Structure 1
Amino acid sequence: MVSRSYSNLLELASGDSPSFGHVGKRLPRVMTVAGIISDLGEENSSSVGSDAPSSMSQERIIIVGNQLPVRAHQRPGNEGWSFSWDEDSLLLQLKDGLGEDVEVIYIGCLREDIEPREQDDVSLTLLETFKCVPTFLPPDLFSKFYHGFCKQQLWPLFHYMLPLSPDLGGRFDRSLWQAYLSVNKIFADKVMEVINPDEDYVWVHDYHLMVLPTFLRKRFNRVKLGFFLHSPFPSSEIYRTLPVRDELLRALLNADLIGFHTFDYARHFLSCCSRMLGLAYKSKRGYIGLEYYGRTVNIKILPVGIHMGQLQSVMDLPETETKVAELRDRFNGRMVLLGVDDMDIFKGISLKLLAMEQLLVQHPDWVGKLVLVQIANPARGRGRDVKEVQSETYSAAKRINDTFRRPGYEPVVVIDTPLQFYERIAYYVIAECCLVTAVRDGMNLIPYEYIICRQGNEKLNQTLQLDPLVPKKSMLVVSEFIGCSPSLSGAIRVNPWNIDAVAEAIDGALAMRESEKQLRHEKHYRYVSTHDVAFWANSFLQDLERTCKDHIRRRCWGIGFGLGFRVIALDPNFRKLSVDHIVSAYKRTKNRAILLDYDGTMMPQTSINKTPNPEAISILNSLCKDPKNVVFLVSGRGKDTLSKWFSDCPKLVIAAEHGYFLRQTDNVEWETCVPIAEFDWKQIAEPVMKLYTETTDEIAGLEVYSFWMNSWELTMSEPDILSTNVQATYCPSVIYRPILPSDLDVLEQIHANLFPIRYEREFFLNVVNGHGIVSWGAIDVGPNRQSDELIGFVTTRVIAARESEIEDLLTADASRKDQTLVYILTLGVVEHYRNHGIAGSLVREVIKYASSITNCRAVYLHVIAYNQPAINFYQKMQFKLVRRLNKFYYIKGQHYDAYLFVYYVNGGRSPCSPLDILSTAATYIKGMLKLLATKLWKKDEKKTPRWSKCKESNTLLVTQNKRIIGSDSAVCQCV
């Protein structure tokens, strides 16, 4: 039987319009039992495939995960099932990020086994009551799928655990892979029961369903499909050990949008696509995209958040208040160090206990004062690894307690029984510090929950006898290998393998000043409370909608078999070149010019032997024999090589070295298009090219030396290697222009990535519309000048000199009402484009603009005191550092000093005001008197000459012929 993908391949070859994936305008919304669709309001229910439009236009999202967000409870006497929402499920919580008019359908498995005779009733109940479509899997298939391939193959590998032996991770088992495919196929069938592919969005979650995008794309090539990976994605060196690596990558690339928690995970995925599939990504307007057979697969980087409403509602429960009071009395004033982890080999529980032991050894003052409470949730997997973790945890806890136990005091408390959510929250509330030592974790929301719970509420404050006017505090010590670590800038990050460092970090966190704990807590609370699960879901779905907005205009063909299936997307105006039309036109014409390229056309780029074969020579001679034909061969190769290769084609016109040399026939001398040329540059270029060739594979970095050019053939090496070697020579093609309204989104995103200060949207609207703000943007137009990517910017405002803080530093006439200044508000360049002089060019645009204003006297700006690279940059640009401003910036609850820089234009600089002259003279005289006094005392070893050119002073101490330079301040106030 001919498959659909093969039939579409025939359509593509024939030039016909694609029929694959064609569906009706709208599938009906009302379903009775999963898979049986009834069209209410229609006389004939069999017309679901018709083109009759539906009147129902409600937006719908199909969320697919391994487990449904519901809990099943069997009624007494085994008489049916009752169901309730699982409030802890992320799939349920993300609904808060959707509009109230958005319909959500869930597809997944139940945690409980349902007898086959009950499955129809359960399906109907879940669909009608919860809008859930359950996926029922046979127990043996589920075991191979989940406990086999997912937990023994993907889970360890994605957490950087290689199967080095049968006992460590397990060898690859093809039967488990087949079970994984079978389950994904079953999920695809369930999606088919409810999807309206032209309008519905499908959001697939996590590594259990990584090949589902291929099965869905094969059914509907225009399906709007997003995928989010909640686990880490390993580096290419780890991932490439997976025998089915290409299949999984290609399956994911059948999605429209792929999401990751962190930039590292996304970078690893892109690296795998580059090294294994040869795909290069592009970044445009802040978005990362992979071009895959005409489709753009976008990459989304955004960590998930927590459900604020759920946490706050549980904190308000009376049970929570009671539990907090119980724990307060139990620990009786002792500090609580809290750990909450699954009993998993990657959670680092044993490392945490070792750090606690080391802390009590190195800092015995904590004995009797500090308690580590380790909540060990039941393991999600099973096997010998879990038992080893349990054994190691219990033995370490026992050893620590035996060593440091005191009457009424045990330093380690391990809780391995399931806790109610309110009980866990109570532990968060009373914990002074939260410790996470996971060696690998996709995200880990425990620190987020801890931060919100430490904020507390009025009742909990009363229970703990806390002053409501005193700011809340919290401390975090987290592993640098977990997904939430980059988002928690106030946390103490540690390498969990370094036991001594973790112990010192715990000590530092507990002994930190109260004010510092409060500032860090405020910073974290502000971020976590605003970047919750609703924000995450809304952002992902907005990007998915943007990515899929042009699906309806695509002309698509499905090509390939099995997991090699992919969709080729072509421009709507694409038409197959008709051979009959070409032959007809060829016969009608009297004169024909036939232009042929060699490498990549007549000879494949990947071919090692580039010499033309006899068949190619024969075809060329056949074309050249026709007196109506003039056949041109164009190549970048040298004239000597081409003359040798095509010596048997006397009538062939050859253009060598990309047209620099031209030969009409074999008995005519070579001509040059440029009569006079200088080649001194080759003496500089050749050593550089040889250097990079030596660091690259000899075949991949083959140098082609021609008469007028040197070039590489970068053909057979991994793209990452070539990119790394040649990166040093990369220089973007940049133009400078005013910032436009079309730059709004990317401008906001770059601002958010570069600056600690958050600007209101009104500021960005004023920038792009030029309302009171003058701006310039640095635009990377690409090598072909077809791109338009904003990579840097500077924003300024023109203000009156008399209203500025540098009025006293200007010439006397600059204080007149008509005199102005240009104030630089923000300046930034995307990190990848730095060190190319872009920032300097932007500043020069500002200076040129200020100089063109007749009554403008200076350009000035502020720099936060700790930004040493910016300070060095402006000093290099000849800006004058004129003042240090104490506590100028207030960022996230903390004050920072600033430096004031000025660049004078149009004669605006004053050498010094009379007051400054007197002050400088007095300081100089004072220093001379002190110097004279030391000479009179004849104590050379203690003389302390002082000098000053400004209000701040530097001191030179001379002691036993050694000079020690000390300073009261790093900068001068007046220069």
Structure 2
Amino acid sequence: MLSKSCANLLELGSDNTVDFSTSVKSLPRVMTSPGIINDLDEGTSTNEDSCSSKLSSQDRKIIVADFLPLNSMKDQATGQWCFTWDRDSLLLQLKDGFSSDTEVIYVGCLDVDIDISEQEEISQKLMEEYKCMPTFLSPELFQMYYHGFCKQQLWPLFHYMLPICLHKGDLFDRSLFQAYISANKKFAEKVMEVINSDDDYVWIHDYYLMLLPTFLRKRLNQVKIGFFLHSPFPSSEIYRTLPVREEILKSLLNADLIGFQTYDYARYFLSCCSRMLGLHYESKRGYIGLEYYGRTVSIKILSVGIHMGRLQSVLNHPATASKVQEIEENFKGKKLLLGVDDMDLFKGISLKLLAFELLLERHPTLREKIILVQIVNPTRSMGKDVKEAIEDTLLIAERINNSYGTPGYEPVVLIDKPIPFHEKIAFYVAAECCIVNAVRDGMNLVPYEYVVCRQGTEELDKSRGFQVGSSHTSTLIVSEFVGCSPSLSGAFRVNPWSIEDVSDALYRSINSGETERQMRHEKHYRYVSTHDVAHWARSFSQDLERACKDHHSWRCWALGFGLNFRVLYLSPNFRKLMLNHLVSSYKNAHRRAIFLDYDGTIMPEASINKTPRQETLSILNSLSTDPNNTVFIVSGRGRASLSEWFTSCESLGIAAEHGYFIRWRKDAEWESSSVLVDLDWMKMAEPVMQLYTETTDGSYIELKESAIVWHHQFADHDYGSCQATELLDHLESVLANEPVVVKRGQHIVEVKPQGIGKGLVVENLIGTLNKRGKPLDFVLCIGDDRSDEDMFESINSIASSNLFPLVPEVFACTVGQKPSMAKYYVEDTGEVVRLLRGIAAVSNQERRVTDDQVPIERSS
């Protein structure tokens, strides 16, 4: 049995009922598109087929969007629901970018309300015949979710519109956000009904479903998720006004790949992650990634394309050629300018009309020679702002026609009703210039469609009496705030808010020469024809596979509740350091070394008073006075502070300033590194840092004996990070010929001598102990920040080498669950103290046993 899919493009475009018995043709495969939905017109699958495909190793992709790519209609005679594919849907067209053996399943809402008694039957029918899983939302929930939160709050915000006054605009409504949460949960439930967690990829589309990654990641920690935002993403200054800003950001970061139409939108997103979540991105070999709890969230920048086969099929239809001939006859002797826009507040239709009005006012010779045809697509969501936009458009169009119209000449032709797709294509073909004047838009494919239609086809050229192979021309005027603007380098780019700017561009386009218009057209057509929807889908799919390739090699830990949920990815060998395991190894060891960081390890990072507690000093005393132990505090702090804090610990070793100064005991002399004696480079570094300190509020300089550090933890997060990057480059340039290292740490930029670091100092200390005939069989190393990673790496490297006469038990431990070179972790500084207290008790017990075994001399 044939599925009820429609191949007659003209009938589909005119929304007429289709005779399925005759509509069995497939769309042609044209350009880079491998074909559109190869299996749509094949026989329907059975339930058994669906189950077997789910269990097979076939590549499956689950496409999730607000609406399914289906048209729905109820047969009034039979009362049965009929469904056809929506050939204009991007969701349907993107399948051309997948391999032929890829199974695609769609999840989304239908464009009609289905009675609850019919929903189960409809779901089964759509899954069997179309591989579509409908999400049913109650009318009340849909109204609050779609027309409420999405269209009245997210849509204006993402297009840079904020309520200026409390009595104007739509303020944030928590109940609408709760509806948004509920709807996203409904979508997640439907995805879970069809997903095979081990193999399937989930591709989520647009701002309607920004919470879906969290709800899917909660259920399946290793699910492969891609998200593409078709709308703009606002700057951080706009986005930060959203009361649920962090919840949405964190949810998006539960995806593996996040796609944006333009570099600007991706840049704004990364800036929001930096300002609000403290995350920093890295760019490596052309890929951008955000490190988020052990996962790398990839960022992709690639604009959507059009489906060449779809357009060329309509161009080749006789009805299209007939309509083109009719339009050219009606506007004979006049230049046709075209606008095709949704009736939306941000499409700039009224601004376009004002620019056209100014053109006619300034250039009287153009009157009766040019006509602007404005096609207005109906809106899905009718708010008060849209009603005002409609009124403005009608008012301005009427004014222009009254002022400059004459009998037989109407300067503005406003088409504000749905028209068949082939008629819209015919207007594209006939228009000499297309104007897209949106004040803010995600992508807007109208310019792409216009260029392809102006290129035409051989069949259309023949029907119009053109010589086959003749050159074609087109002219585009594109707003610089539209997503497609960067890719159309031959267009007249304009600021839509400047009426004069747009009017001048209209005049220049009208008066441009044939050769110029031909060159502009050829440049655009080369790009549009090779960057179609198949290219976009294929590229996104490949990057999603790359982003997810290591999923199963990591251990997952679920963290947080509600919308703060995230998954921590750790090495399979990474585990918590248990007290009983540590104590057991400690008891069996004969020569032990313990290396401890200070800030964030035995002293809480957020503590204002950095003086160690008495309990901590007592524990360190017990450990360091054990003759079998060598205990060192390895810190970046200066030796003066560390000496003062640990003055009560007689046997404690200290490595200050990352090991530049070393003292084995309190009564020993400080040993300074022989790596560098001359510190004149500090005289060059300090003025540079001072310059950045003066221009960065909240920053300060810390002068050490061997190093100089610029701190910016109290500065504006985004600006401080930006300044740190600039300072790093500046210092590297100034100190290029000096024997120093410029490193960036957590809220710091540090300059220190080469050959100094925690990893090197630990290697030297262990080497010295070996030379003294004290080979180690137990090593404990605990730290919390980037500098401690060098220490972990060195200890792990030494342990696997032959430097130890005995094979030691090594415990490299980081504070907090995070990606690390260490194999163990503890939760916080409290657990560090608890572990140290546990092994100190062993030393105290051994000391008491030894004391009890000492013979007592009796007096005579």
Same fold (TM over 0.5): yes
Q: Which residue pairs with 2:201 in the alignment?
A: 201
Q: Which residue pairs with 1:537 in the alignment?
A: 537
Change (3 A) 1:229 1:782: farther
Q: Which residue pairs with 1:747 in the alignment?
A: none
Q: Is the 8 A contact 1:328 1:464 kept in 2?
A: no
Q: Which residue pairs with 1:62 in the alignment?
A: 62
Q: Is the 8 A contact 1:495 1:502 kept in 2?
A: yes
Work out the CA distance in 2 between the residues paired with 1:312 and 1:59: 30
Q: Which residue pairs with 1:282 in the alignment?
A: 282
Q: Which residue pairs with 1:519 in the alignment?
A: 519
Say which of 704, 722, 725 aligns to 1:724.
722
Amino acid at match of 1:560: G
Amino acid at match of 1:320: T
Offset of residue 669 of structure 1: 4.2
Q: Which residue pairs with 2:318 in the alignment?
A: 318
SS of 1:399's partner is helix
Q: Which residue pairs with 1:357 in the alignment?
A: 357
SS of 2:65's partner is strand
Work out the CA distance in 2 between the residues paired with 1:424 and 1:517: 22
Work out the CA distance in 2 between the residues paired with 1:478 and 1:636: 55
- RMSD of aligned residue pairs (Cα, Å): 2.4
SS of 1:58's partner is coil
Q: Which residue pairs with 1:215 in the alignment?
A: 215
For residues 798-817 of structure 1, the aligned pairs below 5 Å read none
SS of 1:374's partner is strand
Q: Which residue pairs with 1:663 in the alignment?
A: 663
Report Cα offsets for 1:766-817 as digits up to 9, x if no partner: xxxxxxxxxxxxxxx9979xxxxxxxxxxxxxxxxxxxxxxxxxxxxxxxxx
Amino acid at match of 2:719: I
Amino acid at match of 1:99: S
Amino acid at match of 1:529: S
Q: Which residue pairs with 1:421 in the alignment?
A: 421
Change (3 A) 1:668 1:545: closer
Q: Which residue pairs with 1:347 in the alignment?
A: 347
Q: Which residue pairs with 2:97 in the alignment?
A: 97
Work out the CA distance in 2 between the residues paired with 1:483 and 1:323: 31
Offset of residue 402 of structure 1: 1.3
TM-score (norm 2): 0.77
Work out the CA distance in 1 between the residues paired with 2:48 and 2:316: 46
SS of 1:150's partner is helix
Q: Is the 8 A contact 2:479 2:496 kept in 1?
A: yes
For residues 168-247 of structure 1, the aligned pairs below 5 Å read 168-247=168-247
Work out the CA distance in 1 between the residues paired with 2:53 and 2:110: 35
Q: Which residue pairs with 1:296 in the alignment?
A: 296
Offset of residue 689 of structure 1: 1.0
- Could you list the runs of 5+ residues in structure 1 that have no partner in the other structure? 1-36, 42-47, 735-780, 785-975
Offset of residue 513 of structure 1: 1.2
Q: Which residue pairs with 1:707 in the alignment?
A: 705
Q: Is the 8 A contact 2:47 2:128 kept in 1?
A: no
Q: Relative contact order (C-alpha < 8 Å, sep 6+): which is higher?
A: 2
SS of 2:279's partner is coil
Q: Which residue pairs with 1:155 in the alignment?
A: 155
Work out the CA distance in 1 between the residues paired with 2:82 and 2:187: 23
SS of 2:575's partner is coil
Change (3 A) 1:457 1:630: closer
Work out the CA distance in 2 between the residues paired with 1:439 and 1:53: 46
Offset of residue 731 of structure 1: 4.4
Q: Which residue pairs with 2:122 in the alignment?
A: 122
Q: Is the 8 A contact 2:475 2:521 kept in 1?
A: yes
Q: Is the 8 A contact 2:611 2:645 kept in 1?
A: yes
Offset of residue 292 of structure 1: 1.3
Q: Which residue pairs with 1:878 in the alignment?
A: none
Q: Is the 8 A contact 2:343 2:389 kept in 1?
A: yes
Change (3 A) 1:428 1:168: farther
SS of 1:254's partner is coil
Work out the CA distance in 1 between the residues paired with 2:655 and 2:549: 45
Work out the CA distance in 2 between the residues paired with 1:380 and 1:732: 53
Q: Which residue pairs with 1:392 in the alignment?
A: 392
Work out the CA distance in 2 between the residues paired with 1:676 and 1:534: 59
Change (3 A) 1:55 1:157: closer
Work out the CA distance in 1 between the residues paired with 2:54 and 2:63: 23
Change (3 A) 1:782 1:598: closer
For residues 622-661 of structure 1, the aligned pairs below 5 Å read 622-661=622-661
- Could you list the runs of 5+ residues in structure 2 that have no partner in the other structure? 1-45, 733-740, 745-860
Q: Percent identity?
A: 60
Work out the CA distance in 1 between the residues paired with 2:671 and 2:552: 53
Work out the CA distance in 2 between the residues paired with 1:343 and 1:117: 36
Q: Is the 8 A contact 1:733 1:783 kept in 2?
A: no
SS of 1:116's partner is coil
Amino acid at match of 1:482: V
Q: Which residue pairs with 1:487 in the alignment?
A: 487
SS of 1:633's partner is strand
Change (3 A) 1:53 1:264: closer
Q: Does 1:472 align with 2:472?
A: yes
Work out the CA distance in 1 between the residues paired with 2:53 and 2:434: 56
Offset of residue 608 of structure 1: 4.2
Work out the CA distance in 2 between the residues paired with 1:407 and 1:138: 53
Change (3 A) 1:652 1:121: same
Amino acid at match of 1:124: Q
SS of 1:697's partner is coil
Q: Is the 8 A contact 1:348 1:437 kept in 2?
A: yes
Q: Which moved more, 1:192-201 or 1:374-383?
A: 374-383
Offset of residue 489 of structure 1: 0.7
Change (3 A) 1:75 1:714: same
Report Cα offsets for 1:304-328 as digits up to 9, x if no partner: 1001111111111222112111111
Q: Is the 8 A contact 2:692 2:727 kept in 1?
A: no
Q: Which moved more, 1:379-388 or 1:131-140?
A: 379-388
Q: Does 1:504 align with 2:504?
A: yes
Work out the CA distance in 2 between the residues paired with 1:313 and 1:286: 37
SS of 1:409's partner is coil
SS of 2:179's partner is helix
Question: How many corresponding residue pairs?
Answer: 691
SS of 2:410's partner is coil
Q: Is the 8 A contact 1:325 1:463 kept in 2?
A: no
Q: Is the 8 A contact 2:728 2:743 kept in 1?
A: no
Q: Is the 8 A contact 1:162 1:169 kept in 2?
A: yes
Change (3 A) 1:426 1:309: same
Change (3 A) 1:322 1:401: same
Q: Is the 8 A contact 2:343 2:386 kept in 1?
A: yes
Change (3 A) 1:620 1:523: same
Amino acid at match of 2:637: R
Q: Does 1:261 align with 2:282?
A: no
Change (3 A) 1:384 1:675: closer
SS of 2:576's partner is coil
Q: Is the 8 A contact 2:558 2:568 kept in 1?
A: yes
Q: Does 1:383 align with 2:383?
A: yes
Work out the CA distance in 2 between the residues paired with 1:711 and 1:577: 33
Q: Is the 8 A contact 2:458 2:469 kept in 1?
A: no
Change (3 A) 1:503 1:675: closer
Q: Which moved more, 1:121-130 or 1:720-729?
A: 720-729
SS of 1:442's partner is coil
Amino acid at match of 1:110: L
Amino acid at match of 2:369: K
Amino acid at match of 2:281: Y
TM-score (norm 1): 0.68
Q: Does 1:111 align with 2:106?
A: no
SS of 2:326's partner is helix
Q: Is the 8 A contact 1:257 1:547 kept in 2?
A: yes
Offset of residue 622 of structure 1: 3.5
SS of 2:71's partner is strand
Q: Is the 8 A contact 1:69 1:89 kept in 2?
A: yes
SS of 1:117's partner is coil
Amino acid at match of 1:351: L
Q: Which moved more, 1:383-392 or 1:78-87?
A: 78-87
Report Cα offsets for 1:39-73 as digits up to 9, x if no partner: 689xxxxxx9xxx9987332211111100000011
Q: Which residue pairs with 1:831 in the alignment?
A: none
Change (3 A) 1:216 1:519: same
Change (3 A) 1:676 1:109: closer
Q: Which residue pairs with 1:885 in the alignment?
A: none
Amino acid at match of 1:238: I
Q: Is the 8 A contact 1:161 1:169 kept in 2?
A: no
